[in-house]
Structure 1
């Protein structure tokens, strides 16, 4: 299915958020996620379905000052 990840189009085969993160290479648990603008907690990713055209935002924490 076609989704948008961080403003870039991606074709994925996964149908849940947690599986999509693995497929897309976001294996670190230290990321924040949102689907269609709504924050999704880490504990809810396995039960969060994805559909054609969804917008996924993945943010990783940054260090520094």
Structure 2
């Protein structure tokens, strides 16, 4: 299934949830926020939110700096 992750095309497994995608992409799930098609997905809904063909997902992590 083709989706866009952080502006880059990606092929992911059919039937994946937002939670599965996040776990596959980062080791630090506690410190990320996720938006699917411009809608924030609450962490409590990651595993129940299915991805669909063409979805645009943003996985955002805080960056330290000054």
State the number of aligned residues.
64
> What do you get for the CA RMSD once the two structures are aligned?
1.1
Is there any run of 5+ residues in structure 1 with no aligned partner, and where?
Answer: none
CA distance in 2, matches of 1:27, 1:41: 18
TM-score (norm 1): 0.89
Deviations 1:8-65 (A, max 9, x none): 0000115200011122x22312101000000011111011110000000011011121
Written as runs of structure 1 = structure 2, the 5 A alignment for 1:51-62 is: 51-62=52-63
Corresponding residue of 2:8? 8
Is there any run of 5+ residues in structure 2 with no aligned partner, and where?
Answer: none
